[in-house]
Structure 1
Amino acid sequence: MTQHGVGTGNGAQSGAAPQQLPADPAQLAAAIEAILLVAESPVSATALAAAVQQPVPDVRHAIELLRLGYDERQAGIELREVAGGVRLYTRPEYAPYVEMFVQDGQRSRLSQAGLETLAVIAYKQPVTRARVSAIRGVSVDGVVRTLLARGLIVEVGTDPDTGGGLYRTTDLFLEKMGLQDLAQLPSLAPLLPDLDGLDLDEAYDRR
């Protein structure tokens, strides 16, 4: 079973092949850390092994190195095993600082990236984070976290095909927009005349 999930599994084929595979335990741990930072849900050792093209036992060892490293230096994040996989979480003792940061963010205006991401979610909901990223052409992980923290969107389940979280707008979004329901959202065509006739689903599927 040492090669389970290694090599040409679907996880390794989902994007461009890395220029250089992790060559030692430290590099492997760093690669896994990078994946976990953008993961929407717990990731199994098998899925991680497919992504980094390394044996599952080596991946498990790298995961343990990460966990011990975070614990030894009392980092602001910790690695937890949940739901058959691993995921990064903020450490509970630093929750007050995170809460203050989020509350400060709620009082500030949304960035252009935040407004654009919110618009895509509003018009395509329920929609996965990956689909929003594909439509916008950039990563939206940080923006989605901000929108969640501000209560403008909420996760409402998982996509049956990809397993990614599905997001929709909230009643607070309607309140902020001065709308009674989503049917009152304006048509996209007058707002984006250059995109008239463009199917956002097709734009996503071409990626």
Structure 2
Amino acid sequence: MYTGYFALLMAALMAILTVATESSIPGYDVFVPEWEVRAHPSGDALRLNGTAEEVIQQIEKINPDYKRSFNIDDLPEQEEDIKSPHELQSRAVTTFPLDRVTCDNFEPVKSSEVMSAVRYLNDIGGRPKNGGGPANCGRVSCGYKVAVWWCNDGAQTRELSGFSSITAGIYAIQTMCQQTRPKFAGQAFHPDNWNVIVRWEDC
């Protein structure tokens, strides 16, 4: 009996280690992102940790009507037509230099699912905070087999004014890496020494 329990325990441990290895970014340490959010429109700011999906679950335990309180639509966002690099920059959709986007350096994701990650990041509002680097990454969204990582290449702790800065990186990757393909992955580097990664993960 004990031998069977030990075998099950070792199998579970190996599964955990495999997931951890698959979820890490080569050359980067991993941190858990911190979010400054509100559960109620007039409530105090809260500091919560995890991905966007995990943080929304935590908020809904505090305020089950969170989405209604902030007029958040549960319907999936329709996939936008991919804009040309010139149009994307002229509309100020992204502050990422499009010549600093690396494509196909990770396992690709379905383009139809990427907007779900954008929707979660836009819905949560608040301000993201990460640990000091260099080479420090936190997974800010993971769902529909799409993972979004926010990486700090600077030495100091970094806090952004909002998650639109991260979604701008997603748009830059999508514009440069998707083209006409059904799947894509990539990494967008910001001039302020941080970057965004979009890639496939089992989540």
Q: Which has the higher helix share?
A: 1
The structure that has the greater radius of gyration is 1
* TM-score, reference length from structure 2: 0.23
Q: TM-score, normalised by structure 1?
A: 0.23
- Write 1 or 2 for the structure with the bigger share of strand: 2
